[in-house]
Chains A and B, each alone.
Chain A
Amino acid sequence: MESIGLLMGFEKILNLQNLGFAFIGALLGTLVGVLPGLGPASAIALLFPLLGHLPPVGAIIMLAGIYQGSQYGGSTTSILVNVPGEMSSIVTCFDGYAMTKQGRPGPALAISAIGSFIAATIAMIALTFSAPLLANAAIIFGPPEYFGLYLLSLTSIIGFSGGSIFKGLLTALFGLFLTLVGVDPMSGVIRLTFKIPILSGGLDIVPVFIGLFGITEALSQLEETIDGTVKKIGRLMPTWEELKRGIFASLRGGLLGTALGVLPGMSPSIGSFLSYDLEKRISKHPEKFGTGMIEGIAGPEAANNGTSISGMIPMMSLGIPTCATLALVLAALVVYGVQPGPLMFTQHAEMAWSVIASLYIGNLMLLILNLPLVGLWARLSLVPSHIMAGAVIVLCTIASWVNRFSMFDCWLMFIFGLIGYYMRKKNWPPAPLVLGFIIGPMTEQSLRQTISMYGGNLLGPFSRPLFVCLFIGALVSLFFGFHMQRRATVMKD
């Protein structure tokens, strides 16, 4: 069944035009991912206006390319100039830049690309076979189970987002509050619009996220200066011995990342740090890590890609994004008329399989595309930050404007840019806000339906075993997050 679906997806996307979209998506995603500070979330937020001009299938194919490209792009600058393009590429700097200093950046880049390809393939196979199964199982979910699931996602992202749990809770509450602006879909009553007509449609997701990610990045970049020179790349292919070690490390990292990615709140950076730790523990020469060990590049890069792709399993089958980037992917899919969730594989089967097939195509595209272009990517990462920030702000403004052709959205982007900047400066995690904003309406609807089902009895849903499990899971994830926070404080002291 899954193989037929996948073939259907390939049939839909395998034409010259769609391959072109996949190519452009992978290229643009890598381009934005390479730029220091601009991670996958910013890449998707910034490239929204380009997607608006494409047919739905083309837009989704390009989106898949952008998502994968931006995940991959961060490693190039980590290896060549010791500037991580995103959080999850920090680990790659340790051994990747060490290899560059030894005059061997080529093999480091090659092993990073091969590792990413292997891990993404593992995660995509898992996605192909487990997402439809999970979606089928979720069809029996009622409003209480959905509420439990949303609660679990929120608490997990709060627990795993790092930093203060209290800050995470307040940010999620703020996200939920923002979703209350506009018409209530259940009763039709208008809330929190303060008689401003344009607010009755609610706060639009596009300018809010562009502000939170794009403008915040640009404002932060203006305060930073990038210093560095691009080293000569030289020979690309690693030795046979290095390739063998790299492939095994990639398989381990890929499996670890794929397993972790399914868990809500698990960002690719956690996967890459855990993989580095694992490689160091099982290595015969742990003391050599940080001096240019091939496993220190392959493992974390593979885990990073595995986590990001397998995060699509709960997103596509349950409609629950596990991190901020996937929340943006989900939002983009919704804009193009595809509602991820249990019914996606039945109501939008063609589209669902097209998304999965485009991931396979995007993965292959990246492997072919990135190795010959590494020199160009490295030079791009050294563009002065004020020029980059100016271009990003203009692009963000266009992206917000074309959303509804309204200056209101541009101002909304500006306000959320300031909020995002403040949050970044004061270490308030953005992920709970993003998730609260995305799943807020669904959480409210499922909670209100649940309470109605039991005639106002708050203890009613506890008669359903699955709800109880999800509720306990939510409590455990909060407790675990609190425990991690305490441990981090003790270690700091």
Chain B
Amino acid sequence: MLPSFIRRLHLHEGAFEGLFLVILGCLGIIERSLIASALKSRYQEPLSADKFLFIICIALILGGVLWGIVSRKAPHQTKLSQIISPTFLKATFALIGYLLIMRLVGFYFSTIIFLLLLFQFCSNQKWLRSLLLSLGLASFFYVLFAWLLDTVLP
């Protein structure tokens, strides 16, 4: 059920998590070098905004590297592909589609389409039942927020 590119991602969980933290830390250090020059002309604090950012980023990098090393020794290592279930993938793609089409077709219609897809992807119920449920839920939220609470929806 899983796409092959995810199945092939046999990344060790600690390596994945550690790498994420290291990347964040590196991004912060790059940003720090950019803002350090902007701060030169201002009042010099002993612990300025860029130095604080630097400390947090170094801690993130060190923590990420350490976590990558420490978690390798864990007896039961889970692969990234084991965490991502088919239901999760389908729901995620439906949600991405929902957010993408919301500005194009508006809240009401995008909600009907999203709920219909979600109910079909994640349960075994009939199309008609899913359609009626989607219509009912979308209408309920539309009436509650757009009419009763006067909220501007996309």
Residues of A within 8 A of B138 (CB): 394
Interface residues of A in 417-431 (CB under 8 A from B): 417-418, 421-422, 425-426
Nearest to B148 among chain A residues (CB) is A53
User: Are B88 and A223 closer than 8 Å at their CB atoms?
Assistant: yes
Q: Could you give 15 example pairs across A and B, Cβ below 8 Å?
A: A169-B63, A187-B39, A187-B49, A191-B53, A192-B28, A389-B118, A390-B118, A390-B137, A393-B114, A398-B107, A407-B99, A426-B78, A447-B47, A451-B45, A455-B46
Mask, B121-152, CB within 8 Å of A = 1, is: 01100000000011001100100010001111
User: Are A173 and B141 closer than 8 Å at their CB atoms?
Assistant: no
Q: Which of A173, A186, A222, A447 contacts B88 (CB 8 A)?
A: A222
Q: Which of A49, A397, A405, A456 contacts B46 (CB 8 A)?
A: A456
The 5 nearest A-B residue pairs measured at CB: A456-B46, A184-B49, A451-B47, A386-B122, A386-B123
Residues of B within 8 A of A410 (CB): 99, 102
Residues of B within 8 A of A336 (CB): none
Name the distance in Å between A310's Cβ and chain B's nearest Cβ. 32
Q: Which of B50, B67, B96, B123 contacts A384 (CB 8 A)?
A: B123
Residues of A within 8 A of B53 (CB): 180, 191-192
Q: Which of B39, B47, B145 contacts A189 (CB 8 A)?
A: B39
Residue B59 at the A interface, CB < 8 A? Answer: yes
Q: Which of B60, B64, B96, B153 contacts A398 (CB 8 A)?
A: B153
Nearest to A445 among chain B residues (CB) is B52
Residues of A within 8 A of B91 (CB): 218-219, 222, 389
Interface residues of B in 30-89 (CB under 8 A from A): 31, 35, 38-39, 42-43, 45-50, 52-53, 56-57, 59-60, 63-64, 66-67, 70, 78, 83, 85, 87-88
Nearest to B20 among chain A residues (CB) is A174
User: Are A189 and B35 closer than 8 Å at their CB atoms?
Assistant: yes
Residue A414 at the B interface, CB < 8 A? Answer: yes
Q: How far is the CA of A341 from the CA of B119 in the complex (A)?
A: 45
Residue A248 at the B interface, CB < 8 A? Answer: no
User: Are A394 and B122 closer than 8 Å at their CB atoms?
Assistant: no
Residue positions of A touching B, CB distance < 8 A: 49-50, 53, 166, 169-170, 173-174, 176-177, 180, 184, 186-187, 189-192, 194, 215, 218-219, 222-223, 384, 386-387, 389-391, 393-395, 397-398, 401-402, 405, 407, 410-411, 414, 417-418, 421-422, 425-426, 444, 447-448, 451-452, 455-456
Q: Which of B70, B114, B133 contacts A394 (CB 8 A)?
A: B114
User: Are A394 and B137 closer than 8 Å at their CB atoms?
Assistant: yes
Residue B6 at the A interface, CB < 8 A? Answer: no
User: Are A223 and B85 closer than 8 Å at their CB atoms?
Assistant: yes
Name the distance in Å between A329's Cβ and chain B's nearest Cβ. 22
B103, B134, B151: most-surrounded residue (chain A CB, <10 A): B151
Number of interface residues of B (CB under 8 A): 62
Nearest to B117 among chain A residues (CB) is A390
Residue positions of B touching A, CB distance < 8 A: 13, 17, 21, 24, 27-28, 31, 35, 38-39, 42-43, 45-50, 52-53, 56-57, 59-60, 63-64, 66-67, 70, 78, 83, 85, 87-88, 91-92, 95-96, 98-99, 102-103, 107, 111, 114-115, 118-119, 122-123, 133-134, 137-138, 141, 145, 149-154
Nearest to B138 among chain A residues (CB) is A394
User: Are B92 and A418 closer than 8 Å at their CB atoms?
Assistant: yes
User: Are B95 and A49 closer than 8 Å at their CB atoms?
Assistant: no
Name the distance in Å between A451's Cβ and chain B's nearest Cβ. 4
Residues of B within 8 A of A405 (CB): 152
Nearest to A194 among chain B residues (CB) is B31
Name the distance in Å between A421's Cβ and chain B's nearest Cβ. 7
A391, A393, A407: most-surrounded residue (chain B CB, <10 A): A393
Q: How far is the CA of A431 from the CA of B12 in the complex (A)?
A: 25
Residues of A within 8 A of B114 (CB): 390, 393-394
Q: How far is the CA of A154 from the CA of B53 in the complex (A)?
A: 18
Nearest to B88 among chain A residues (CB) is A219
Q: How far is the CA of A451 from the CA of B141 in the complex (A)?
A: 51
Q: How far is the CA of A397 from the CA of B94 in the complex (A)?
A: 13
User: Are B47 and A448 closer than 8 Å at their CB atoms?
Assistant: yes
Nearest to B124 among chain A residues (CB) is A386
Nearest to A413 among chain B residues (CB) is B99
Residues of B within 8 A of A391 (CB): 137, 141
User: Are A386 and B31 closer than 8 Å at their CB atoms?
Assistant: no
Q: How far is the CA of A407 from the CA of B110 in the complex (A)?
A: 14
Nearest to A401 among chain B residues (CB) is B154
User: Are A394 and B115 closer than 8 Å at their CB atoms?
Assistant: yes
User: Are B13 and A426 closer than 8 Å at their CB atoms?
Assistant: yes
User: Are A174 and B46 closer than 8 Å at their CB atoms?
Assistant: no
Nearest to A387 among chain B residues (CB) is B133
Nearest to B154 among chain A residues (CB) is A401
Name the distance in Å between B56's Cβ and chain A's nearest Cβ. 5
Nearest to B122 among chain A residues (CB) is A386
Residues of B within 8 A of A53 (CB): 149-151
User: Are A398 and B99 closer than 8 Å at their CB atoms?
Assistant: no
Residues of B within 8 A of A414 (CB): 95-96, 99
Residues of A within 8 A of B154 (CB): 401, 407
Q: Which of A177, A186, A390, A425 contacts B56 (CB 8 A)?
A: A177
Residues of A within 8 A of B149 (CB): 50, 53
Name the distance in Å between A393's Cβ and chain B's nearest Cβ. 6
Nearest to B151 among chain A residues (CB) is A402
User: Are A394 and B103 closer than 8 Å at their CB atoms?
Assistant: no
Residues of B within 8 A of A173 (CB): 21, 56, 59-60, 63
B45, B67, B95: most-surrounded residue (chain A CB, <10 A): B95
Residues of B within 8 A of A425 (CB): 83
Q: How far is the CA of A180 from the CA of B98 in the complex (A)?
A: 30
Residues of A within 8 A of B122 (CB): 222, 386, 389
